[in-house]
Amino acid sequence: EAPLGLYFSRDAYWEKLYVDQPAGMPLLYVHALRDVPDEVPSFRLGQHLYSAYRKRLHENNWIRIQEDTGLLYLNWSLDHSSWEKLSIRNGGFPLLTVYLQVFLLPTALREGECQWPGCARVYFSFINTSFPACGSLKPRELCFPKTGLSFRIRENRPPGTFHQFRQLPMQFLCPNISITYRLLGGENLPFRCAPDSLEVSTRWALDRERREKYELVAACTVHMGAREEEVMVPFPVTVYDEDDSAPTFLGGVDSTGATSAVVEFKRKKGTVVATLHVFDADVVPASGELLRRYTSTLLPGDAWALQTFRVEHSPNETLVKVNGSFIRATVHEYRLVLNRSLPISESHALQLAVLVNDSDFQGLGEGTLLLHFNVSVLPVSLRLPSAYSFTVSRRAHHFAQVGKVSVENCQQFTGIHVQYDLQLSSANCSALGVVTSAEDTTGILFVNDTEALRRPECTQLQYAVVATDQSTHRQAQAPLLVTMEGTYMAEEPGCPLSCAVSKRRPECEECGGLGSPTGRCEWRQGDGKGISRNFSTCSPSIKTCPDSHCDAVESSNPNICPQDCLRGSIIGGHEPGERWGIKAGFGTCNCFPEEKKCFCEPEDSQDPLCDELCRMVI
Amino acid sequence: RRRARARSGTRPCGLRELEVRVSELGLGYASEETVLFRYCAGACEAAARFYDQGLRRLRQRRRVRREKVRAQPCCRPTAYEDEVSFLDTHSRYHTVHELSARECACV
């Protein structure tokens, strides 16, 4: 906001009003502090009284203000009928609180736009009786307003008076009660309470970067005849910030003021390449304005760099210890981010500069900072191991997993798309296939043709594994030798297609199913502890199913591993998987992939009750 | 041989209510919450058809032996409550579908 020149030390004031209080009674003082020396505040009241819900009730005929001192006083007594009138205008809601707006001149007076620092609200709580007898008032009521005091003071501004302790109506109506005030909490603090006027003022300009909060205590002593009573209330002062600190470096920087980064295996758009932190002792501009006023510009180098990188900025509030107390400050994180996915052939070395500008900075010198990033983009070459060798049982079923192939460092790849293929180099015994697993850029070999497995002439298969990068079409090759072992045995009749159908161990282990590498399903015995990830189930191979992950082979047919891949309903105590399948189950889980259903239930030897009821007994 | 069970006083097939703790359902969920469990119960004699009589006689004559057959209508839900959700003792929510019956009929 534009500097207004003057500001209120509070945004809200509180006072009580009773019925039939005399005209001329002083109510309270409002205080304004200066932004520059020699300013003289001039106060003006808004035209209307408002209800607590911002409803305009009536023109203000009762309360006046002294323009120069900020003293509000009753110009006209408020009787019952005036209050009745105000209550009726409030639309039937009980009227307990009204407020007035106080403006600071010379600001634009616009009713309805009452915002600190140029405007404050003065709330009056209405008590529907006349003022009580002075003797019946408690010290707390005599000393302080009902609502707590709290003050706002801007840093680096001329000192001034911001509060007056005296409760004016009390003094006016109960002049015989003697009340004295003290300010406790540190003698060397920049606050002072004048003994005669009971005004509280700052002694010198404050600095938020040194201290942000002053938790003072106001003490009040009431002398009633021979009795003395002391009341204490908190008296917090908050120091408001202005942009008087320039941004500075904070860690992650070498002696040349630069940070280095390498782009190699992580080449995906959105990858954070490097991070630099910038420290600013200020907490302004506030979050709503911050990104607009705290700019970062990637300085034009070559077009390639501007296309490839962008800068992301996220500010975070932090706490800094100063003289044993914590002060808020801001740490700006600047991340250099890939703006596009880089092909594996790209290779570059460059230095990027980012200009950070704290455009609100009002101190001496520059509010700018130059960040340097030394970035090396290295090319990636696809390399496969020298040779692969696997064995397959002749009893393996379709989709049985044989092994994995992968290029070097593929676990770290992001944004690199490699596809694996098999090229048959021997006789037409093509028994295997390969699928590429997108998550970890590996290839999974699986049995694709069981008939070819069993042919007597197919005992050893020679393949070439080819890994191809999708964007550059660069390739790597490795030989693959697959050896058949064991003898084929025919399947038991009446076995289901899927291992997951079986509900008990014996029927599980005497059958095979889609995806089983040995020709037999495997039983996994769970721990039987409630709904557990380790549930009992029948699967083609415990190594791959269930593992809460529907891999590239399993996803190609719903009968292989519905425990990981089911997209349907699970009946019984369970926790569904993150995307599909069963994450945890109660007891034994079996599935009917054709019906898209799984059932989880502990083994139960009792017959269901309905069967008994409905059984025809002869 | 048992006498016909149709005594006067057996309630016809309909919806019954039970307030149960989630843990009592024995589904493995550890939760302190209570749910309203509606189920179907009651007699279905009046819903028998020619089909039931015929099937019963064929079964007595051992014409139907192989399979499990039901020669009597059964009181079952024809519609279910969509879902019930509850919090378990580990502060995790669970939603169970079709736990409780909404309509019953002799089928």
Give first-to-last CA distance, chain B, whole Å: 25
Measured distance CA(A333)–CA(A279) in Å, rounded: 9
Strand, helix or coil for residue A14: strand
pLDDT tens-digit readout, A383-394 = 999 999 999 999
Tell me how close the Cα of A526 comes to any Cα of chain B, in angstroms: 14
Instruction: Compute the nearest-CA separation of A544 from chain B (Å).
Output: 26
Q: Is the pLDDT of residue A613 over 50?
A: no
Considering only CB atoms, B71 lies closest to which of A572, A586, A616, namely A616
Q: Which residue has the tokens 């505040």?
A: A41
Using the structure block, give the residue that is written with the tokens 């009762």. Answer: A62
In the prediction, which pLDDT does A439 show?
Answer: 84
Is A569 in Cβ contact with B74 (below 8 Å)? no
How far B2 CA sits from the closest chain A CA (Å)? Answer: 7
> Has residue A233 got a pLDDT over 80?
yes
Q: What is the mean pLDDT of residues B34-48?
A: 93
Q: Which residues of A touch B97 (CB under 8 A)?
A: 569
Note the pLDDT of residue A440.
Answer: 86
What is the mean predicted confidence (pLDDT) over A308-313? 92
Distance separating alpha carbons of residues A599 and A576, to the nearest angstrom: 12
Among A599, A614, A617, pick the best mutation site for testing chain B contact (most B Cβ within 10 A): A614
What does the pLDDT read at residue A610?
47
Strand-pair category, A588-592 with A48-51: unpaired
CB contact under 8 A, A586 and B70: no
As a whole number, mean pLDDT of residues A323-348 equals 92
Q: A531 vs B1: CB contact, 8 Å cut-off? A: no
pLDDT score recorded for residue A79: 85
Residue A551 three-state SS: coil
Show contacts of A584-587: CB within 8 Å, 24+ apart.
Answer: A584/A531, A584/A532, A584/A533, A584/A535, A585/A526, A585/A531, A585/A532, A585/A535, A585/A537, A586/A530, A586/A531, A586/A532, A586/A535, A586/B27, A586/B28, A587/A526, A587/A528, A587/A535, A587/A536, A587/B28
List of chain A residues whose C-beta atoms are within 8 Å of the C-beta of residue B6: none
Q: How would DSSP label each residue in A27-86?
A: EEE--EEESSTT---EEEE-SEEEETTS-EEEE--SEEE-TTT-EEEESS---HHHHHHH
Q: For residue A354, how many C-alpha atoms fall within 13 Å in the half-sphere facing its CB?
A: 29
Subunit contact A614:B30, Cβ cutoff 8 A: no
**Quick one: which H or E segment has residue A87?**
helix A80-89
Contacts of B93 in chain A (CB under 8 A): none
Q: What does DSSP say about strands A227-240 and A213-224: parallel, antiparallel, or unpaired?
A: antiparallel
Burial class (CB in 10 A: 0-12, 13-18, 19+), B1: exposed
CB A581 within 8 A of CB A533: no
CA distance linking residue A445 with residue A421, whole number of Å: 10
- Three-state DSSP at A448 gives coil
Model confidence at A339, in pLDDT bands (50, 70, 90)? very high
Q: How confident is the model at residue A256 (pLDDT cuts 50, 70, 90)?
A: low
pLDDT 10s digits, A468-488:
999 999 999 999 999 989 888
B27–A530 C-beta distance less than 8 A: no
Read off the pLDDT of residues A587-601 as tens digits, 9 standing for 90 and up. 999 999 999 999 999
Q: Are A164 and A193 in contact (CB under 8 A)?
A: no
Nearest to A213 by CA among A182, A234, A183: A234
pLDDT at A615 over 80: no
pLDDT at A176: 86
Question: Per residue, what are the HEC states of chain B?
Answer: CCCCCCCCCCCECEEEEEEEEHHHHCCCCCCCCEEEEEEEECECHHHCCHHHHHHHHHHHCCCCCCCCCCCCCCEEEEEECCEEEEECCCCCEEEEECCCEEEEEEC
Would the CB atoms of A569 and B70 count as touching at under 8 Å?
A: no
Contact B28 A569 (CB under 8 A): no
Residue written as token pair 């159908």: A501
Share of chain A above pLDDT 90, in %: 51
Q: Say which range, A315-319, A420-424, B62-66, has the weakest mean pLDDT.
A: B62-66
Quick one: pLDDT at residue A3?
A: 47
Which residue from B minimizes the CA distance to A585?
B28
Which 13-72 residues of chain B touch chain A by CB within 8 A?
A: 27-30, 56, 59-60, 70-72
Give A538-563 pLDDT, tens digit per residue.
Answer: 999 999 999 999 999 999 999 999 99
- Span A267-287, average pLDDT: 90
Which member of B2, B74, B97 has the closest CB to residue A614?
Answer: B74
Query: Tokens 């009589």, residue?
Result: B53
Secondary structure element (H or E) that encloses residue A319, with its range: strand A309-322
Work out the average pLDDT over A171-181.
89
Mean predicted confidence (pLDDT) in A61-66: 91
Residue A428, pLDDT > 80, answer: no
Which range has highest mean pLDDT (A220-229, A245-254, B80-89)? Answer: B80-89
Per-residue pLDDT at A612 exceeds 50 = no
From residue A102, how far is each of A16, A47, A155, A174, A497 by CA, in Å? 17, 10, 23, 27, 83
| Per-residue pLDDT at A367 exceeds 90 | no
CB contact burial A550-587 (16+ within 10 A = b; e otherwise)? bbbbbeebbbbbbbbbbeeebbbbbbebeeebbbbbbb
* Separation CA A431–CA A433 (nearest Å): 7
CA-CA distance, A129 to A20, in Å (whole number)? 9
Instruction: Find residue B97's DSSP bridge partners.
Output: B83
pLDDT at position A187? 72
Residues from chain B that touch A588, judged by Cβ atoms under 8 A, are: none
Answer whether residue A425 shows pLDDT above 90. Answer: no
State the average pLDDT over residues A502-517: 93
* Residue A80 pLDDT > 80: yes
| Residues of A at the B interface, defined by Cβ within 8 angstroms | 530-531, 569, 572-575, 586-587, 600, 602, 610, 613-614, 616-618
Give pLDDT, residue A112: 67
Rounded CA-CA distance A116/A124 in Å is 19
Q: In this complex, which of A586, A613, A617 lies closest to B28 when CB atoms are compared?
A: A586
Nearest to A253 by CA among A348, A334, A320: A334
Could you give the count of Cα atoms lying within 13 Å of A472 in the half-sphere of its Cβ?
A: 17
Owner of token pair 């509060």: A163
Q: Which one of B72, B74, B97 has the shortest CB-CB distance to A569? A: B97
CB A297 within 8 A of CB A355: yes
Residues of B in contact with A530 (CB under 8 A): 28, 30
Question: Residue A137 pLDDT more than 60?
Answer: yes
Higher pLDDT, A208 or A364: A208
Tokens of A543: 């190594």
The answer to whether the bond into A132 is cis (omega within 30° of 0) is no
What does the alpha-carbon distance between residue A7 and residue A239 come to, in Å, rounded to a whole number? Answer: 13
State the Cα–Cα distance between residues A286 and A288, nearest whole angstrom. 6
Contact yes or no for A530 and B60 at CB 8 A: no
Quick: pLDDT tens for A452-470: 888 888 888 889 999 999 9
Counted across chains A and B, CB pairs separated by less than 8 A come out at: 29
Q: What is the average pLDDT score of chain A?
A: 88
| Chain A CB contacts of B70 below 8 Å | 614
DSSP H helices in A269-346? 287-293, 303-308
pLDDT tens figures, A87-118: 888 776 776 788 999 988 766 566 667 888 88
CA distance A573 to chain B (A): 5
| Run of H or E including A372 | strand A368-377
Q: Please give the average per-residue pLDDT across A266-291, as a whole number.
A: 90
Amino acid at site A236: P
Confidence of residue A618 (pLDDT cuts 50, 70, 90): very low
Q: How many CB atoms lie within 10 A of CB A251?
A: 10
